[in-house]
Protein backbone atom coordinates (compact mmCIF):
# COMPACT_ATOMS: atom_id res chain seq x y z
CA UNK A 1 0.00 0.00 0.00
CA UNK A 2 1.28 3.47 -0.76
CA UNK A 3 0.60 6.26 1.70
CA UNK A 4 -3.03 6.44 0.69
CA UNK A 5 -5.45 5.26 3.30
CA UNK A 6 -8.13 2.61 3.12
CA UNK A 7 -11.39 4.47 3.57
CA UNK A 8 -13.83 2.08 5.21
CA UNK A 9 -15.98 3.75 7.85
CA UNK A 10 -14.47 2.08 10.89
CA UNK A 11 -10.85 2.34 9.97
CA UNK A 12 -11.08 6.03 9.18
CA UNK A 13 -11.20 7.34 12.72
CA UNK A 14 -8.57 4.82 13.81
CA UNK A 15 -6.28 5.99 11.02
CA UNK A 16 -6.85 9.62 11.88
CA UNK A 17 -6.06 8.89 15.50
CA UNK A 18 -2.87 7.02 14.60
CA UNK A 19 -1.76 9.93 12.43
CA UNK A 20 -2.66 12.46 15.13
CA UNK A 21 -0.71 10.50 17.74
CA UNK A 22 2.35 10.37 15.51
CA UNK A 23 2.26 14.08 14.72
CA UNK A 24 1.29 15.17 18.24
CA UNK A 25 4.33 13.55 19.82
CA UNK A 26 6.75 15.82 17.93
CA UNK A 27 8.65 17.95 20.46
CA UNK A 28 9.16 21.68 20.06
CA UNK A 29 12.72 22.11 18.75
CA UNK A 30 13.46 25.03 21.08
CA UNK A 31 11.65 23.77 24.19
CA UNK A 32 11.84 19.98 23.87
CA UNK A 33 9.87 19.28 27.07
CA UNK A 34 6.65 20.27 25.34
CA UNK A 35 5.13 18.78 22.19
CA UNK A 36 3.46 20.53 19.30
CA UNK A 37 0.19 19.29 20.76
CA UNK A 38 0.91 20.82 24.19
CA UNK A 39 1.66 24.15 22.54
CA UNK A 40 -1.44 24.09 20.34
CA UNK A 41 0.70 24.40 17.22
CA UNK A 42 -0.75 21.21 15.72
CA UNK A 43 -4.25 22.30 14.71
CA UNK A 44 -5.69 19.24 12.97
CA UNK A 45 -4.91 15.98 11.25
CA UNK A 46 -7.40 15.01 8.57
CA UNK A 47 -7.74 12.52 5.77
CA UNK A 48 -8.02 14.36 2.46
CA UNK A 49 -10.37 13.29 -0.36
CA UNK A 50 -7.47 11.59 -2.11
CA UNK A 51 -6.80 9.54 1.01
CA UNK A 52 -3.61 11.25 2.11
CA UNK A 53 -3.06 12.54 5.61
CA UNK A 54 -2.97 16.34 5.92
CA UNK A 55 -1.62 17.85 9.13
CA UNK A 56 -2.23 21.53 9.75
CA UNK A 57 0.18 23.54 11.86
CA UNK A 58 0.19 27.19 12.79
CA UNK A 59 3.19 29.41 13.56
CA UNK A 60 3.50 31.04 16.98
CA UNK A 61 5.15 34.20 15.60
CA UNK A 62 5.34 35.26 11.94
CA UNK A 63 9.11 35.19 11.97
CA UNK A 64 9.67 32.19 14.22
CA UNK A 65 12.57 30.29 12.63
CA UNK A 66 11.37 27.05 14.23
CA UNK A 67 8.17 27.05 12.15
CA UNK A 68 9.64 25.42 9.06
CA UNK A 69 11.63 23.00 11.16
CA UNK A 70 8.47 21.95 13.00
CA UNK A 71 6.65 21.38 9.71
CA UNK A 72 9.52 19.17 8.56
CA UNK A 73 9.56 17.22 11.83
CA UNK A 74 5.79 16.63 11.73
CA UNK A 75 6.11 15.42 8.14
CA UNK A 76 8.89 13.01 9.04
CA UNK A 77 6.95 11.72 12.07
CA UNK A 78 3.96 10.98 9.84
CA UNK A 79 6.13 9.28 7.24
CA UNK A 80 7.78 7.14 9.88
CA UNK A 81 4.35 6.12 11.12
CA UNK A 82 3.64 4.78 7.64
CA UNK A 83 1.83 7.72 6.05
CA UNK A 84 4.21 8.05 3.12
CA UNK A 85 2.22 10.64 1.14
CA UNK A 86 1.38 12.81 4.15
CA UNK A 87 1.35 16.57 3.71
CA UNK A 88 1.84 19.38 6.19
CA UNK A 89 0.10 22.69 5.64
CA UNK A 90 0.65 25.95 7.46
CA UNK A 91 -2.48 27.82 8.51
CA UNK A 92 -2.47 31.43 9.72
CA UNK A 93 -6.09 31.79 10.69
CA UNK A 94 -7.25 31.77 13.39
CA UNK A 95 -4.02 33.25 14.75
CA UNK A 96 -2.23 31.19 17.37
CA UNK A 97 -2.76 32.29 20.94
CA UNK A 98 -1.06 31.24 24.15
CA UNK A 99 -4.54 30.23 25.37
CA UNK A 100 -4.07 27.13 23.22
CA UNK A 101 -1.21 25.87 25.37
CA UNK A 102 -2.69 22.99 27.38
CA UNK A 103 -2.66 22.99 31.19
CA UNK A 104 -0.37 20.02 30.97
CA UNK A 105 1.92 21.99 28.65
CA UNK A 106 1.95 24.93 31.06
CA UNK A 107 2.96 22.67 33.92
CA UNK A 108 5.76 21.17 31.81
CA UNK A 109 7.01 24.66 30.97
CA UNK A 110 7.05 25.65 34.63
CA UNK A 111 9.00 22.54 35.63
CA UNK A 112 11.47 23.28 32.85
CA UNK A 113 12.06 26.77 34.31
CA UNK A 114 9.94 28.80 31.91
CA UNK A 115 7.10 30.81 33.43
CA UNK A 116 3.96 29.93 31.45
CA UNK A 117 1.87 32.74 29.94
CA UNK A 118 -0.59 34.53 32.21
CA UNK A 119 -4.23 34.33 31.23
CA UNK A 120 -5.08 37.65 29.64
CA UNK A 121 -2.65 39.68 27.59
CA UNK A 122 -1.73 43.37 27.89
CA UNK A 123 -5.24 44.53 28.76
CA UNK A 124 -4.51 46.51 31.93
CA UNK A 125 -3.07 49.58 30.34
CA UNK A 126 -2.73 49.43 26.62
CA UNK A 127 0.79 50.74 26.37
CA UNK A 128 2.53 50.14 29.65
CA UNK A 129 0.52 47.22 30.96
CA UNK A 130 2.51 45.04 33.32
CA UNK A 131 1.53 41.51 34.22
CA UNK A 132 2.48 39.75 37.43
CA UNK A 133 4.65 36.77 36.54
CA UNK A 134 5.41 34.15 39.17
CA UNK A 135 8.93 32.79 39.40
CA UNK A 136 8.95 29.21 38.01
CA UNK A 137 11.63 28.26 40.55
CA UNK A 138 10.34 29.53 43.90
CA UNK A 139 6.83 30.75 43.07
CA UNK A 140 7.45 34.30 44.27
CA UNK A 141 5.57 37.13 42.62
CA UNK A 142 8.45 39.51 43.40
CA UNK A 143 9.76 39.38 39.86
CA UNK A 144 10.77 42.00 37.35
CA UNK A 145 11.03 42.12 33.60
CA UNK A 146 14.56 42.52 32.30
CA UNK A 147 13.58 42.63 28.65
CA UNK A 148 10.40 42.35 26.64
CA UNK A 149 12.26 40.15 24.16
CA UNK A 150 14.20 37.01 25.01
CA UNK A 151 16.10 34.12 23.50
CA UNK A 152 13.29 33.20 21.11
CA UNK A 153 10.44 35.32 19.67
CA UNK A 154 7.97 33.79 22.10
CA UNK A 155 9.83 34.57 25.32
CA UNK A 156 10.69 37.55 27.52
CA UNK A 157 13.49 37.79 30.08
CA UNK A 158 12.65 38.09 33.78
CA UNK A 159 14.46 37.84 37.07
CA UNK A 160 13.21 36.86 40.51
CA UNK A 161 14.00 39.29 43.31
CA UNK A 162 13.30 36.60 45.90
CA UNK A 163 15.50 33.67 44.83
CA UNK A 164 17.61 35.88 42.52
CA UNK A 165 17.31 33.46 39.60
CA UNK A 166 16.83 34.72 36.05
CA UNK A 167 14.13 33.00 34.01
CA UNK A 168 12.27 33.06 30.72
CA UNK A 169 8.61 34.04 30.55
CA UNK A 170 6.49 32.62 27.73
CA UNK A 171 4.91 35.82 26.40
CA UNK A 172 1.18 36.10 26.28
CA UNK A 173 -0.15 36.44 22.77
Q: Would you tell me which residues interact with other proteins (CB under 8 A)?
A: 59, 61-65, 91-97, 121-122, 127-129, 146-151, 153, 157, 171, 173
Of 5 and 54, nearer to other proteins (C-beta) is: 54
Of 13 and 72, nearer to other proteins (C-beta) is: 72
Interaxial angle between packed helices 66-80 and 9-24, expressed in degrees from 0 to 180 and rounded to the nearest 10:
130
Measure the CA angle with vertex 169, ends 23 and 39; round to 5°.
15
Of 105 and 150, nearer to other proteins (C-beta) is: 150
CA nearest to 136, candidates 157, 158, 110: 110
Question: Least CB distance from residue 137 to other proteins, whole Å?
Answer: 20
Question: Least CB distance from residue 78 to other proteins, whole Å?
Answer: 23
What is the DSSP code (8-state) at residue 35? Answer: B
Amino acid sequence: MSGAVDMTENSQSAVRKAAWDAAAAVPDPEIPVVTVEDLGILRSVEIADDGTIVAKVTPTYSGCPATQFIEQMVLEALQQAGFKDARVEAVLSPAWTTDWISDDGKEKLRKYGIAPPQKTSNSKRALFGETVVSCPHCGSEETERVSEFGSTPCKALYRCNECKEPFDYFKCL
